[in-house]
Amino acid sequence: MIRANGLTKKYGDKTVVDDLSFEVKPGTVTGFLGPNGAGKSTTMRMLLGLDAPTRGTATLGGRAYAGHTAPLTEVGALLEARSVHPGRSARNHLISLALTHGIPGSRVDHVLDLAGITEVAGKRVKGFSLGMGQRLGIAAALLGDPATVILDEPVNGLDPEGVLWIRNLLKSLAAQGRTVLVSSHLMSEMALTADHLVIIGRGKLLADTTVDSFVREAGAGAVKVVTPSATELAALLAGPSVTVTSESPGTLDVRGTDAEQIGRTAAAHGIPLYELTPRAASLEQAFMDLTRDSVEYNTTVISETSVKGHAA
C-alpha cells in the first residue's frame, strides 16, 4: 500500500505538488496521470525519499521509504533519469546492484529474462536503444522482488511490442498481489493497463477513480445534431443541465440530454433533422477536458462557439 497524505512540494514560490492525498492498493495497477509538468515525477520522487516534501508524508507499506532496512526488496522503481554506467554490460550492472543490496545473484538472470533482454545481457549499456534501456531499468526495479513497484512513464521509447509487454507485465505484477503505481500522460494506454486512476493537474488531485467509472462517465458524451433550424432548436434544448455548442453552421453538439429527447423536442416543433448521432466522448477527450485548465503549456486552442444566438 502506498499512502500520500497532504504531500506538498514548493520550489521557491511555485507549488508544484499541492496537498496531494491518495492511496494505492495492493493487487491493482494504479495509473498516475496528468499533463506535462503536473507534478507526477516530483510526487514519485517524494514517495521514494529522493525529494523532501515541503509538507505532508508518504508511506510505502506503512513506513516512509527511508524507514525500510532493505528498500530494494520493498520498493522497485524506474524513474525518468537513470544512472547506469555506460561502459558496463546489462548483466554486470544488475550483478553490482544485487551485490550492494544483499540480493541473491540468481535474481539477475530471472529479471533479465522477465525484461526480455537476456540476449543482449553481455552488451555494453552505452549501445542500448531507448527501449532496451527502459527494459533494463525495469529489470533493475524488479531485482529485489519488491512488494511495491513505482514506474515513471515506462512505455517511453518502447515499440508497440514493448508497450504490450509492459501492459501484461504490470497486470501480472498486480495479480501477484503487488502494489503497482505507473505514471503516464496517455489516457488511452492507461485505460488498457490500469484498474484505478489517480489524475493530477498543476499538482492538485483532479480525480481518484476506477478506470471503469471513468470510462462510463466518458461514454456519457454528446449528441451531434444537423438541422437547418439550429438556432431555434438550440434555444429549445438549452437549459440548466443541457449545454449546446456549435462548431459549424447547422450543426449542434448537445450535452446533458439524449438523442430520444432531442428527437421528440424537434418533432414537437416541426423542426427537420438531417442527422441525430450519439457520440461517445473518447477517453483521451475526457482526460483533456478534465485537465484542460491545468496544462502548463497550451499548444492547441479548442474553440467552441456557444450557439446562444449565434448558430445559423
Ligand X SMILES: Nc1ncnc2c1ncn2[C@@H]1O[C@H](COP(=O)(O)OP(=O)(O)OP(=O)(O)O)[C@@H](O)[C@H]1O
The binding site for ligand X (CB under 6 A) comprises 11, 16, 34, 36-42, 185, 296
The residue among 40, 43, 34 whose CA lies nearest residue 295 is 34
Judged by beta carbon, residue 270 or residue 297, the one nearer ligand X is: 297
As a whole number of angstroms, the distance between CA 143 and CA 175 comes to 18
Tell me how far, at minimum, the Cβ of 184 lies from ligand X, in Å. 9
- The one-letter code for the residue type at 242 is V
As a whole number of angstroms, the distance between CA 258 and CA 170 comes to 38
First to last CA, the chain: 55
Tell me how far, at minimum, the Cβ of 238 lies from ligand X, in Å. 37
Judged by beta carbon, residue 77 or residue 111, the one nearer ligand X is: 77
Judged by beta carbon, residue 161 or residue 296, the one nearer ligand X is: 296
Tell me how far, at minimum, the Cβ of 135 lies from ligand X, in Å. 20
Indicate the SS3 state at residue 179.
strand
- The one-letter code for the residue type at 35 is P
Phi-psi region of 62 (alpha: psi -120 to 50; beta: other; left: phi over 0): left
Judged by beta carbon, residue 36 or residue 303, the one nearer ligand X is: 36
Judged by beta carbon, residue 40 or residue 178, the one nearer ligand X is: 40
Q: Residue 311 forms beta bridges with which residues? A: none
Tell me how far, at minimum, the Cβ of 141 lies from ligand X, in Å. 17
| Rg of the chain (C-alpha set) | 24
Indicate the SS3 state at residue 186.
coil
Tell me how far, at minimum, the Cβ of 16 lies from ligand X, in Å. 3
- In the DSSP assignment, the letter for residue 89 is B
Judged by beta carbon, residue 36 or residue 106, the one nearer ligand X is: 36
Q: What's the per-residue H, E or C state across 235-285?
A: HHHCECCEEEEEEECCEEEEECCCHHHHHHHHHHCCCCCCEEEEECCCHHH
Tell me how far, at minimum, the Cβ of 245 lies from ligand X, in Å. 30
As a whole number of angstroms, the distance between CA 224 and CA 77 comes to 45
Tell me how far, at minimum, the Cβ of 220 lies from ligand X, in Å. 28
Pairing of strands 204-210, 179-184: unpaired
Tell me how far, at minimum, the Cβ of 48 lies from ligand X, in Å. 13
As a whole number of angstroms, the distance between CA 13 and CA 108 comes to 44
The residue among 290, 263, 257, 292 whose CA lies nearest residue 275 is 263
Tell me how far, at minimum, the Cβ of 42 lies from ligand X, in Å. 3
Judged by beta carbon, residue 18 or residue 74, the one nearer ligand X is: 18
As a whole number of angstroms, the distance between CA 142 and CA 108 comes to 10
Judged by beta carbon, residue 130 or residue 220, the one nearer ligand X is: 130
Judged by beta carbon, residue 157 or residue 250, the one nearer ligand X is: 157
